[in-house]
Amino acid sequence: MYAAKFRFYAELNDFLPQEKRQRTFTHVFELSASVKDMIEALGVPHTEIDLILANGQSVDFSYLVHDGDHISVYPVFESLDITPLVRLRPQPLRETRFVLDVHLGRLATYLRMLGFDTLYRNDYTDAELAHISSSESRILLTRDRGLLKRSIVTHGYCLRTTNPRQQLDEVLRRFDLFTSIKPFQRCLRCNGLLQPVDKAAIIDRLQPQTRRHYHEFRRCQTCDHIYWKGSHYERMQRFIERILQGNSTG
């Protein structure tokens, strides 16, 4: 028998039985499993989850839970920032583009959400990352100091934090990007650019509920994924508002 400690935050507690809400509890298991499987066995759908920390480190859904682990699970776009909105300044001329280390998938999604050109794959080698950064003039983001020591990398930044939301703040501040945010321009999956598309052209690909309630759609020019202003869109909007609010204190 193995045991790990779990703690779920904010509205994720809605999915838990009363005795497991708003507290750290011990989960006993016989077979090692991915954190995704374990969380879902506890009753929380993985689609509700934004961030998982295992012993303080950000992990993805495939992380195998070990005996003695401390797992913290956060909902989509949770933030406690309540400072007032800041007025945007004029746009800078330069375009800042990124390539991200393989461990920074969540940060890549955040950056794409804000409209920044962000290359990310979970199978880039260090040599590929360094080459892309150099040949495409992309800022290499990583927590690996060794990677940034490679001589061909001229533009890079070593993230201090492991929490993706804090990493996003680090990047926005470090490169002064708060005024360059252009939400909902890029595909979160592949970094492709989104273009408006007529509902009629894609109607056969929509679920009945979506077909009924939504009328504006965008399609990724690269991977063909379709986006609309549903509940995810509203969560993203709130997330972006909080980011801008956070900047008003600095």
Pick the piece of the chain touching Zn ion (CB under 5 A) from 18-26, 144-152, 222-230, 234-242: 222-230
**Cα separation, 147 vs 203, whole angstroms:** 46
Residue 188 sits in the site that holds Zn ion (CB under 5 A): no
Pick the piece of the chain touching Zn ion (CB under 5 A) from 73-81, 149-157, 178-186, 191-199: 191-199
Residue 187 sits in the site that holds Zn ion (CB under 5 A): yes
**Considering only residues 10, 16, 132, 190, which one is a binding residue for Zn ion as defined by CB under 5 A?**
190
Residue 193 sits in the site that holds Zn ion (CB under 5 A): no
Residue 185 sits in the site that holds Zn ion (CB under 5 A): no
3-state helix, strand, coil in the chain (%, to 5): 35, 20, 45
Residue 107 sits in the site that holds Zn ion (CB under 5 A): no
- Are 73 and 12 in contact, with CB atoms under 8 Å apart? yes
Residue 192 sits in the site that holds Zn ion (CB under 5 A): yes
Nearer of residues 154 and 195 to Zn ion, judged by Cβ? 195
**Considering only residues 3, 85, 203, 223, which one is a binding residue for Zn ion as defined by CB under 5 A?**
223
Residue 222 sits in the site that holds Zn ion (CB under 5 A): yes
Pairing of strands 49-54, 57-59: antiparallel
- Are 139 and 120 in contact, with CB atoms under 8 Å apart? no
Q: Which residues contact 94 (CB under 8 A, 6 or more apart)?
A: none
Q: Which residues contact 170 (CB under 8 A, 6 or more apart)?
A: 157, 159, 160, 161
Nearer of residues 53 and 202 to Zn ion, judged by Cβ? 202
Nearest to 74 by CA among 124, 125, 10: 10
Nearer of residues 66 and 189 to Zn ion, judged by Cβ? 189
Binding site for Zn ion (CB under 5 A): 187, 189-190, 192, 220, 222-223, 225
